Structure 1
Amino acid sequence: MRNAVGFYWTLPVPWAGFTELPKDIDEAAKASRTIRYQRELIRRYAKEHNLRLVAEEAFLEIKPDRGSEYVLDALRSAEKICREKNAQLLYVGFSEVHGWRGHGPLEAWVGRAGIDVDELYPDEIEVDGAKFDPHAHFGIWRKRQYEWSAKKQERVSLAKEEALKLRETGETYRDIAFRLNEANIRSATGKLWTEDMVRHLLHQAET
């Protein structure tokens, strides 16, 4: 029985509050349907091909709309485990279907990796008792991401209006950040407000 390492990745979704990924793989799978799908697909593949999964690594990208070279550190960590355990790396090749959810830096790394890497086709499978179709899932995600991006200026205007009102009542920048977050008034990127972000926002409103 040969050893294998599963590598799973996903994008953050700031507008849904998904900006962090637990280090524990099972907790990461609970936090992200995409990670959960990859974990299930690779675990099934390993079982069917008599592979022993000796490690599973999950990575959360830094931007909601693209893969980045930050993935290389995570891949080097997985590569080290592969070398130590004489294992092959398994990952899901999302871009195999209509070119969606591709990851240029990851795919370039695979092309020059000095270890055995197996790219799995993103088949539709049953996850948690229901069919999971990656193509349909990411199609919905892209639509919601587009809608979120289209309302960026609207979010900024609302935040400025509320922040100015609060500032006029004597609230500190820190208090304003707390109030905006409490009211679920998101920043342009979807991140929670901080004292410095509010200061910058109000400085822009004054110039």
Structure 2
Amino acid sequence: MSGAYVGFYWTLPVNRIGFRHLPRDAAAAAAVSTTIRYQRALTHRYVLALEGRLEGRLLGEIAFMDTRPDRATAAVHEALDRVSELTGGRRAALIHVAFDERSWRDNRYLVDHLRTLDIERIPLSPEPIVLDNQRLDPVQHFTDWRERETEAMAALRLDAYAGLRAVLADVPEGAGRWRVIAERLNADGITTVRGGRWTPENVRKLAGRLPQGS
């Protein structure tokens, strides 16, 4: 164990509510994301338990949001490359919460790239802690989040189908039809099935596979 550490906290975007970016500063990121706040609190507790202090041991913190809302990607490599910048070349271990222990948010890209960089990894087991004066059980937290997200995405999908169907019926065939439809949908505040903005290309694709009677 190196005696010096970098905390690494990551989450996924939620496109339907416009949550697509994190502040670069870890404290600011924790203020807007419960998942980041949980990981940061668990990391601080671990480091404090070693010597009762953070200063001099936690050399830096990285908050990272992946590019896809449903899975980890290799985009984490760029975030991990910041470790040497934060430590000034000093040898340090990276602390992260091992969500994959419970089959949540597995991130093999993180593990593989740390091995490539020859950085020691300290995986913390995801366990309940007191956060914001309340007990946060990550099992229940992620279960509740998935249920809410499933319901919200189903509603978004139905709204997108209905909106697209209505505009398709109103805009005649012809050059530039997909662009006109995308502009109309965006102007009306109707989002795609994932909560994003329409483009001529995603209008064309969804129109070709639009369910009948939905």
Query: How high is the TM-score relative to the length of structure 2?
Result: 0.77
Quick one: structure 1 residues 158 and 90, their matched pair in 2 at CA, closer, same or farther if it must change by over 3 Å? same
**Structure 2 residue aligned with 1:117:** 121
Cα deviation for residue 149 of structure 1 reads 4.4
SS across alignment from 2:123: strand
Q: For residue 39 of structure 1, what is the aligned residue in structure 2?
A: 40
Indicate the residue corresponding to 1:136 in structure 2.
140
Q: Where does residue 106 of structure 2 map in the other structure?
A: 102
Separation of aligned partners in 1, 2:155 and 2:136: 29
Deviates more, 1:8-17 or 1:144-153: 144-153
In the alignment, the residues of structure 1 paired with residue 194 and residue 69 of structure 2 have an alpha-carbon distance, to the nearest angstrom, of 9
Partner SS state of residue 54, structure 1: strand
1:55 and 2:82 are equivalent in the alignment: no
- Is 1:159 the equivalent of 2:163? yes
Which residue among 75, 80, 87 is the counterpart of 1:70? 75
In structure 2, runs of 5+ residues without a counterpart are 173-179, 210-214
Asked if the contact 1:124/1:134 (under 8 Å) is kept, the reply is yes
**In structure 1, the residue corresponding to 2:94 is in which secondary structure?**
strand
Distance in 1 separating the partners of 2:21 and 2:202 = 24
1:8-59 per-position Cα deviation (integer Å, ceiling 9, x unaligned):
0001111232111111222211111000111111112111113521211111
In 2, the alpha carbon distance for the partners of 1:199 and 1:74 equals 31
Q: Residue deviations 1:107-147, cap 9 Å, x none?
A: 23344441222111112111111111111111112223333
What SS does the corresponding residue of 2:81 show, helix, strand or coil? helix
How far 1:179 sits from its partner (Å)?
3.1
Shift of 1:174: 8.0
1:206–1:108 CA distance, 2 compared to 1 (3 A): closer
Amino acid in structure 1 at the alignment position of 2:158 = E
5+ long unaligned stretches in structure 1:
none
1:1-12 alignment, distance < 5 Å: 2-12=3-13
